[in-house]
Amino acid sequence: MWSRRSCRYRPDAIGLEELRARRREQESALRKARRQQQLVSKRLLREDSIVNGDGQAGVEIATDPLSEQEVLQLLRDVQRGTEERKKSLYRLRQGLQHKETQQRFVRLEGSMRILIGLFTSSLADVQMEAARCLHELSHSSDPAVSEACLPATSYLLTYLSGQSVELTELCLYTLGNLAVESNTVRKQLLPQGIIPALVSSIQSPHLAVLEGLGYVLSQLLQAKEAPTKIIPHVNNALLVSQGIVSTLVLLLLELASGMSKAATEGLELLICPVLRCLSNLLAEDETEGCKVQIQDERLLVALFLFMQHFLQQHPFLVQECLWLLNNLTADEPIFCSAVLTLGLLPALLQLLACSQMMTLLVLTVLCNIAEKGPAYCHQLHQQAVLPALLSILTLSDVQVIGQSLELLHLLFLHLPEAADDFVSQAGLQALEQHKDNPQLEERVRALKETSLQPAATSQIFPHTASAAVLPST
Amino acid sequence: MSVAPSSPGQRYDRMLLPELSVTLRLEQPLLPVMPRTPPRAPFCFSPSRLRFHRQHEFFEDGDIHRHMYLQEILTHVTEVTERPKVSEFCCHIVGCCQVFDTLDSYEHHYNTLHRNMCSFCKRSFPSGHLLDTHILEWHDSLFQIMAEKQNMYQCLVEGCAEKFKSSKDRKDHLVKVHLYPSDFRFDRPKKVKSSTKHRKLPPKLDVSVPMDVSVETCEQLQMDSMEVCSSESLESPTQPVSGPASSLQEKQLYKARIPSTICFGQGASRGFKSMKKKV
């Protein structure tokens, strides 16, 4: 995993409050970018850097930007076949860490040709240094700068199948930065064969290469046109038939069992995409021929471990775990049963008070469970779901209330005595406050009617085994 | 069945997951399931697997968290600043006099220059794929014969199965379909050896020529070959100007004569004639 930079702050230079304020700004800028569907982050490989004194989450650059004259001079120097060439190139690279220098560089005619010439040099260290220059350019926030790297892409791709790990890694991150820049860039990269080239790199035994490969792919997939131009290269049914589901499940189990032993900082960054993957695969259209079924109840325990562990610091992960839980419990009685028999219900009910989305998801999961029949409703009732529901009914969010009404309906349907207990716990009064809401009134009325009917004359089947179907093993 | 209330966290932290699976199998029978029936109006709930499109705000918090992390991480450069230095050593390949003092730089040099080297003509290639193509097209006599009858020149882009009847046709394809640069360095056609080749030299070396001084000259000597030229010995500043002559012996086999406008080694200055700003 990539490690967070160790910040060496001068403690007197910045207050904690200002740090927090900066972080909030950064966060709100990211949220805004995401809403505009422009959430893009590039990665930078650089040798060591220090955080400058004011604790800025940026990288301090050791030297100043270069003037146009200086860039010109360096470009002349790097064309001389001398030992000085390496130093000039290094100096150029340092300068290219600055946006102004980058912009000056790309505006000079012929500069990119020179750089590419050096990049394709037979001298390994010249090549490496030129590659680092290209990488700095690719990381630029100025699109004109990164697009100026377009002439280099065929070479970047060629070197992916070379054997120098360091160069390959650098090429991968450079390509990843370029790929996310604009449609223009991708319209060149795809015909140039970036995807087959990446496929070959998967064979690499080097972790650094594999990480870089993951980076390029993830950046390519961010593209707006990805669903039509890039993802068709991916075939979910094929993935499923290759056993991806069990691999992902095992990964989650491993992560969960390792959680108590090791430090878990950053673990949520790894768990999150796996959760999303599984949930998406589970939600795959059946007509595509790959209905996914998971039957390993240990996954359930793993999910609850994650939720308990991350609730305080990373509630987003709890939300996404609940999403997976919904997709697991919707169709599989195994998971519904396990929630009840493993005593996981209290933990689930605790999540009811957290956020609107979490409450909705928990209620949906409870509905999934209740829908399975009388035996399930019986357990829910025994394990105190009614008091939890009664306190939910005091809220005002329409969606939340609507879902709780659905749950109550299912409970009363399969378990008449639940209705009686509901009434005796002042449930009818709790329903009152919602009776005039147009989206809720019909259901409120129906529930009142049901709960006021004595259990003996209800049209509901008694919860005996005759109505139940034992699943095949 | 009632369950003793205990904090789920405590219970499961103590359990190892593999043990749990044994417990699960033995003790937990599946509760009996009722056949699914459609919802009764006015109620509408039916269990379903949820899917969100990727821009959905459901993922916002997770995405933001990830990007905050991305923007903070530094580098993963493998210990560049602390590469162990060893005493200087030479590359072992015959004819290559490059010197190194770290294993990484040697490894990179070797991979760049020697790993994918044609054993027939000693040219180097950036990848095994290009080397294979080169050997086939340059050193396989059967290839020449077959190329007269069918399309044998394979497209250089991995994953593209197109074949062409000539190197030029292939290049046109690379440029048109794959958007490769027309002066792609690793696709120069094999030319018949003739004395006219030194005209390949441009009248002056200016910025329009891909830069790499001695490599360029070496390549012109070798007639636009499709490879990376191993001419490092020319670069070493410690060698006298006339020194590289011996390593050129082999290369001289491939040319008529060295044009007088070429000069080797240190002191060759190739400046720009002009550097214009792009508008």
Cis peptide before B42 (omega within 30 of 0): yes
Q: Name the residue facing B113 among A124, A161, A465 (closest C-beta).
A: A124
What's the pLDDT at A236?
A: 78
Can you read off the two tokens belonging to residue A274? Answer: 């796996």
Check CB contact of A442 with chain B, cutoff 8 Å. Answer: yes
The residue ranking higher by pLDDT, B236 or A259, is A259
Can you read off the two tokens belonging to residue B143? Answer: 């290839």
Please tell me the distance from the alpha carbon of residue A314 to that of residue A320, in angstroms, as a whole number.
11
| Least confident piece of the model among A58-62, A156-160, A357-361, B173-177 | A58-62
Is it the case that residue A313 has pLDDT exceeding 60?
A: yes
Residue in chain A nearest B235 by alpha carbon: A81
Question: Which contacts (CB < 8 Å, 24+ apart) does range A362-367 have?
Answer: A362/A322, A363/A392, A363/A400, A363/A403, A363/A404, A363/A406, A363/A407, A364/A326, A364/A403, A365/A322, A365/A325, A365/A326, A365/A329, A365/A339, A366/A407, A367/A403, A367/A406, A367/A407, A367/A410, A367/B45, A367/B47
Task: State the average pLDDT over residues A380-399.
Answer: 94
Q: Kindly list the residues from chain B whose CB atom is less than 8 angstroms away from the CB atom of residue A326.
A: 49-50
The residue ranking higher by pLDDT, A427 or A284, is A427
What's the pLDDT at A261?
A: 67
Q: Which helix (H) or strand (E) holds A391?
A: helix A385-392
| Least confident piece of the model among A45-59, A438-452, B75-89, B147-161 | A45-59
Of A187, A194, A125, A181, the C-alpha closest to A155 is A194
Please tell me the distance from the alpha carbon of residue B20 to that of residue A352, in angstroms, as a whole number.
27
Region for residue A464 given its phi and psi (left: phi exceeds 0; alpha: psi -120 to 50; beta: otherwise): beta
In angstroms, the Cα distances linking A87 to A50, A251, A411 are: 22, 47, 77
Can you read off the two tokens belonging to residue B38? Answer: 């459609």
Q: Could you give the 3-state DSSP secondary structure of residue A428? A: helix
What's the pLDDT at B74?
A: 41
Q: Could you give the 3-state DSSP secondary structure of residue A239? A: helix
Check CB contact of A398 with chain B, cutoff 8 Å. Answer: no
Quote the mean pLDDT of chain B. Answer: 66
What's the pLDDT at A177?
A: 93
Q: Kindly list the residues from chain A whose CB atom is less than 8 angstroms away from the CB atom of residue B49.
A: 282-283, 326-327, 330-331
Task: State the average pLDDT over residues B214-220.
Answer: 34
Task: State the average pLDDT over residues B33-44.
Answer: 91
pLDDT band at A157 (very low <50, low <70, confident <90, very high): very high
Using a pLDDT cut of 90, give the percent of chain A over it: 55
pLDDT band at A348 (very low <50, low <70, confident <90, very high): very high
Can you read off the two tokens belonging to residue A276? Answer: 């999303």
Q: Which helix (H) or strand (E) holds A115?
A: helix A111-119
Is it the case that residue B11 has pLDDT exceeding 80?
A: no
Q: What is the CA radius of gyration of chain A?
A: 29
* pTM score: 0.73
Indicate yes or no: CB of A298 within 8 angstroms of CB of B17. yes
Please tell me the distance from the alpha carbon of residue B61 to that of residue A272, in angstroms, as a whole number.
11
The residue ranking higher by pLDDT, B274 or A78, is A78
Is it the case that residue A467 has pLDDT exceeding 70?
A: no
Please tell me the distance from the alpha carbon of residue A443 to that of residue A434, in angstroms, as a whole number.
10
Q: Name the residue facing B20 among A122, A163, A301 (closest C-beta).
A: A301
Indicate yes or no: CB of B31 within 8 angstroms of CB of A27. no
In angstroms, the Cα distances linking A265 to A23, A211, A271, B11 are: 18, 19, 12, 23
Of A355, A368, A379, A371, the C-alpha closest to A326 is A368
In angstroms, the Cα distances linking A25 to A31, A32, A58, A59 are: 10, 11, 14, 18
Of A361, A333, A266, the C-alpha closest to A473 is A333
Check CB contact of A462 with chain B, cutoff 8 Å. Answer: no
Q: Which of A453-457, B8-12, B14-18 has the highest mean pLDDT?
A: A453-457
For residue range A8-29, what is the model confidence (pLDDT) as tens digits?
344 445 678 888 888 888 899 9
Mutation pick from A4, A67, A123 vs chain B, by most beta carbons of B within 10 Å, is A123
Residues 6+ apart with CB under 8 A from A223: A179, A180, A183, A186, A229, A230
For residue range B111-148, what is the model confidence (pLDDT) as tens digits?
777 888 888 888 888 888 889 999 999 998 899 899 88
In the stretch 311-350 of chain A, residues with CB closer than 8 A to chain B read 314-317, 319-320, 323, 326-327, 329-331, 333-334, 336-338, 340-344, 346-347
Beta-carbon contacts below 8 Å between A and B: 349
Q: Name the residue facing B34 among A257, A372, A443 (closest C-beta).
A: A372
Residues 6+ apart with CB under 8 A from A361: A319, A322, A323, A325, A326
Is it the case that residue A96 has pLDDT exceeding 60?
A: yes
